[in-house]
Amino acid sequence: MFKLFKTLREAGTATVKYPFKPLEVAHGFRGKPEYDPLQCIACGACISACPANALTMETDLSSGERRWQLFIGRCIYCARCEEVCPTRAIHLSEDFETAVLNKDDLYIKSTFRLQYCRQCHEAFAPKKSVEYAMALMVASGVEESSIEALRPMYETCPSCKQKNNLLNNERRNFRLHAEGEK
């Protein structure tokens, strides 16, 4: 019996003193997602990638808003959202303590304004996505004056762009003309 106590004393402590002492996690540990709404463009890539459906997005056309929401209670910490985010607006931190007293504290929410088409006045994309596309053009070396000249094109919905391209500067496109004769 004394031999056992001696062995235990020499072995030392096998556990950590958590929660009385902070727990150090390994590098690359995937914990609670952190979200930066200023960085987000509401593209929806994270929503498509989330296997647990912890991320949702709703578009309200009447108010002209898109609501993004993360429910940490459903998150499985897979980091797919982090992998697909083009602006690095969401990443997994090393924080693993997600216990809360109120269930509403497990939700992270953000609201984005929608861009309205210059021609049909229908909402078609988040404003931040349009601004991000224009900023990418600046970053690629295109002059800002040229980009501002293209602003009407960026602020036009895909259906109106298609109609404009088919009309082709008031000359009728052959395909459109042929379909009209049927």
**Closest Cα to residue 68, out of 50, 80, 51, 93?**
50
Longest dimension (CA), the chain: 102
Whole-number pLDDT of residue 87: 94
Domains and CATH numbers, the chain: 21-168 (3.30.70.20)
Model pLDDT for residues 74-111, shown as the tens digit of each residue: 999 999 999 999 999 999 999 988 889 999 999 999 99
Which residues in the chain show pLDDT less than 50?
Answer: 173-174, 176-178, 181-182
pTM: 0.74
